[in-house]
Structure 1
Amino acid sequence: MSEGSPVGAHVIKMTGYIQALEKSGSPLNIELSIDVVLQSLPDSFNQFVLNFNMNEINKTLPQLLGMLRTTESNMKKGGYISILMVREAKGKGKKVAKSKGVGKTKPKGKNALKPKGGISKQGKCFHCDKPGHWKRNCPIYLEDVKKAKPVGASVSGTAHEKESS
């Protein structure tokens, strides 16, 4: 196809060639037929061909003809305007990685889990198993820690007290 000639007449002529091949016993499948038509277009349709191939659009030849006529009319109106065709993902390509806990949202609705017992201000001690305090406040644990400290580990006032007496 020469630059500036109408795309409709060209696509109809190419469709006639494809049908002649079918009648002679060498049919082309639909993908190859569309590729032949797209490759015969001039350079002004390169952006359309790129979008068509990138988005893996499955169309018949009459549907392709309609899309090419629309593109041609947009090109004539105000120069060439880039058109990006967006489609729904088919599951091909990169998959989105799931987040690892950052920004977790709470489930809403009937399926939301609710706490059963609430939050207690005083828990159960892991050292003595008595309720009312935690291990860090447990008098038995604190006493055991004081007894287990080595004698020379503290510099607080014990050395000075022995010198004065």
Structure 2
Amino acid sequence: MEYLATLGSAIGPEAQIDLILQYLNINYAQFIMNYNMNEIDKTPTEFLAMLKTAETNIQKASPVPIMMVNKESAKGKGKWKGKKRMGSKSAAAPKTAPKQALKPGGGVAKGDICHYCKKSSHWKRNCHAYLEDLKKKKASSASNSGTAGK
């Protein structure tokens, strides 16, 4: 635009801003709509300052790219190694069985004792005395709650 002004074909400030708005990419769609709806009157230099601010906001709001690793390619193509797939290259990967929940491993170590009866070879959650006392407490609380209302 400065070059056109030196040649003697100056463009007005509104036309300059309109030209800039037309050449902005789709990331500036919100900025363009806001500018047009609010009928902002700015000089081209003020408009460029607004664009710089909008550009920093767009860069902050843009999602961070995430790199994904394909399990199949990481293992040397697994069971498909050396075999040709039928159909297109974009065929869906074969379905795998759902993963089962992890179960705790190991058991009671030699030094472990029950915190309830103080005997070794089991933990409190498996202690017969503790479980019986729990049943008695539940039964007594159930019978007490039934008579409390009378």
| Superposition TM-score tier, normalisation by shorter sequence | 0.3 to 0.5
> Which has the greater radius of gyration?
1
TM-score normalized with structure 2 length:
0.39
**Structure of greater relative contact order (alpha carbons < 8 Å, 6+ residues apart):** 1
TM-score normalized with structure 1 length:
0.36
